[in-house]
Structure 1
């Protein structure tokens, strides 16, 4: 769901990403800890980090797509 969202937008915005993560959490029932830990491990190799939406919004969109595809496999 995160990958599809990133692909669907032209410009990544920290607040929009943050909101989308919470939408995903609500729709899937995944705990906030599990969702955000998965993102942090995927991009930082750690279980915690800076606010995910804002952190990911400053990264290159193509890099985000590539990395998410790698971790989904």
Structure 2
């Protein structure tokens, strides 16, 4: 006894095929090029943003020198008096 889904699939495959637009390949190629161009632009923008962030961090680090110990505001105790 054949499966109901299999019978429906066979009926769909044997039936008339839908019409395909004549410019389908051209439209798909145009959209593909647009997507690739957008992806490439976003990729370049991301690298540019990363470069700007690294540059800004480097300038900040060179100006503030966060690796040095800040001077103490409290005077050391007097000894030897």
TM range (shorter): under 0.3
Scaled by the length of structure 1, what TM-score is found? Answer: 0.25
Scaled by the length of structure 2, what TM-score is found? Answer: 0.23
Higher relative contact order (CA 8 A, sep 6+): 1
